[in-house]
Amino acid sequence: MPTKADQIVDKVRESRVWRSVFRSGTGSSTLHRALAIQQNIFLHLFATKVRKRMVRFSATWYLGTLTFGTFLILVITGILLMLYYHPSVPQAYADMKDLQFVVSSGLFLRNLHRWSAQLMVFLVFAHMFKVFYRGAYRTPREFNWVIGVFLLLITLLLSYTGYLLPWDQLAFWAITVGSNLSSSVPLVGSKIHFLLLGGNQVNANALLRFYVLHCVVLPLAAILFIAIHFWRIRKDGGLYVQHSEPKARAIPETALTAKEVK
Amino acid sequence: MPDEALKVTQTLPKEFDRRAFFTKIGLGSLGIAAAGTIVFSYEYLSPNVLYEPSAIVNVGKPENFALNSVTMDVNSGIYLVRAEEGYFALNAVCTHLGCLTAWNQDLGIIACPCHGSKFTRTGEKIEGPAPKPLPWLKTWVSDEGDLMVDRSTDIPPLRYLRI
């Protein structure tokens, strides 16, 4: 017997507007649930069905999901910080100080952005260690590991480019040292250094370039690779579950049908 | 008629196949366009005009510097040294990773705060990760009698400027 709330929900889901957006239709059968996933542009990256043991905490510790969570926090707080920050030499440092002391909730947003950034780097490494030690990088998932390595590099570059933006002494010398590392590349090192900074020293051009990389280029690259990364999980047969994991421990048998246990 | 046309194309040598010809033209132009895009991108990303401080620094009258003194100009990142043998200028930017070094009067050495490289007053490396000594910079006296240093021009070490 459906409750009143269920009836209202069903009514909305049967309305013409709802059906024009979500075509999977009403109902909660397995087919409807599968269609709801499959016909959604975002959710279709994922599998329509997953095994319970794949989504158990012990299988992955949810490290990839948590990493994505920090990324979402960084995107949202980052966009908000952009509203008060000018990437110019006379203003950058003052804007950062304004965010801390003048703007309402500015300190909270800036700290949230900073701590999430640190946490994201930590979680990316933790995720990769977990994947590595479980052997989840092996065939057929080796390409997704490669995508993951690109995501690691993008994360580190986001971290590095963001480091310059407060435009304080720490930022200036860290980027001076870091960009000088690129000069060590054989033959084209000094050219890369020049292109990266847009000059010979960390100055207005470097600040603007790092800002554009940090706020536009690298986040777009990250979103693209994250989408491929998620899609490949489905294409490679779902999240990896170790065969050696004792089934009785992995899943309480009472909760499963005979087929799922197998 | 269609059969005849087919026959003709089959007998033609492969080099004269129209489709292959246009494919080659198309791929060739795409390749040229791609190469051009790379060149244009590189050119666009390298600034032609830089609003950076001039490489030539006027450090003032020579007699302002006491004998056996090491004077650092923080803004331009150079040391002006007046030794017994004469004047010389050193680049104060560490040859390791570009930090600004500092002169330590008590120890009589130049030290880098970032990774601990140490240099003598003449720029020779004492210890640390720096791969090269601090370069000597071109120094001369202007017509007005001021000491001038060109930060962009290195000279071999131990070429003192005698006045």
Mean pLDDT in residue range B97-123: 94
| B99 or A257, higher pLDDT | B99
| pLDDT tens-place string over residues A72-128 | 999 999 999 999 999 999 999 999 999 999 999 999 999 999 999 999 999 999 999
Structure tokens at A135: 């052997």
At B13, the pLDDT band (50, 70, 90 cuts) reads: low
| pLDDT tens-place string over residues B51-60 | 888 899 999 9
Residue A250 predicted with pLDDT over 90: no
Residue A71 predicted with pLDDT over 70: yes
| Superfamily for the B56-155 domain | Rieske [2Fe-2S] iron-sulphur domain (2.102.10.10)
Question: Would you call A203 and B46 a contact, using CB atoms and an 8 Å cutoff?
Answer: no
Q: What is the mean pLDDT of chain A?
A: 90
Q: Collect all residues of chain B within an 8 Å Cβ-Cβ radius of residue A199.
A: 47, 50, 52
Confidence (pTM): 0.84
Question: Would you call A177 and B47 a contact, using CB atoms and an 8 Å cutoff?
Answer: no
At A6, the pLDDT band (50, 70, 90 cuts) reads: confident
Domains along chain A? 4-49 (no CATH), 52-253 (1.20.810.10)
Evaluate whether ipTM surpasses 0.85: no
Closest Cα in chain B to A176: B98
At B5, the pLDDT band (50, 70, 90 cuts) reads: low
Considering only CA atoms, which of A70, A226, A61 is closest in space to residue A129? A61
Structure tokens at A129: 């260690």
Chain B closest-CA separation from residue A87 CA (Å): 16
Question: Would you call B97 and A177 a contact, using CB atoms and an 8 Å cutoff?
Answer: yes
Give CA–CA dist A44/A25, Å, rounded.
16
Least confident of A54-63, A245-254, B65-74, B151-160: A245-254
- Which residues fall within 8 angstroms of residue A215, CB to CB, at 6 or more apart? A78, A82
